Chains A and B, each alone.
Chain A
Amino acid sequence: MLQISWSGLLWTVINLLVFYLLLKKFLWQPVTDKIESRQKEIRQNLAIAEEQKMQTAKVKADYDARLAQAEEESQGLLRQAENRGRREYQAILASAQAAAEALAGETRRQLEADRTAMLAEVRKEVAGLAMLAASQVAGRQLGGSDDRALLEEFLAKEHPAEGLPAGQYPPKPLPSEAGGSL
Chain B
Amino acid sequence: MDKLKEVLAESMAGTPAVSVFGLFDVPESVAVTWILMALVTAASFILTRSLQRIPGGRQTLLELAIGAFNHFCEENLGRHWRSFAPWLFTVAVYIAAANLAGLIGLAPPTRDLTVTAALALMSMILIYGAQFRFRGFSGGFKKFAQPTPVLLPINLMEIFIRPLSLCMRLFGNVLAAYVIMEMIKTLAPAVIPIAFSLYFDIFDGLIQTLVFVFLTTLFLGESIEENE
Q: Which residues of A contact B (CB under 8 A)?
A: 1-5, 7-9, 11-13, 15-16, 18-20, 22-24, 26-32, 34-35, 38
Contact = CB atoms under 8 A, between A and B. Distances in A.
Given A12-B114, A20-B87, A24-B86, A31 B41 contact: no
B160 interface: no
B211 interface: no
Given A11-B27, A15-B37, A20-B86, A5 B114 contact: yes
A4 B26 CA distance: 13
Given A2-B12, A11-B30, A23-B44, A35 B66 contact: yes
B164 to A, nearest CB: 12
A8 B111 CA distance: 13
A1 B86 contact: no
Interface residues on B, range: 35 or more
B202 interface: no
B29 A8 contact: yes
Contacts of A9: 114, 117-118, 121
Contacts of A38: 53
B149 interface: no
A30 B48 contact: yes
Given A12-B30, A19-B94, A35 B37 contact: no
B152 interface: no
Contacts of B86: 20, 23-24, 28-29
Contacts of B89: 23-24, 27-28
A16 B113 contact: no
B151 interface: no
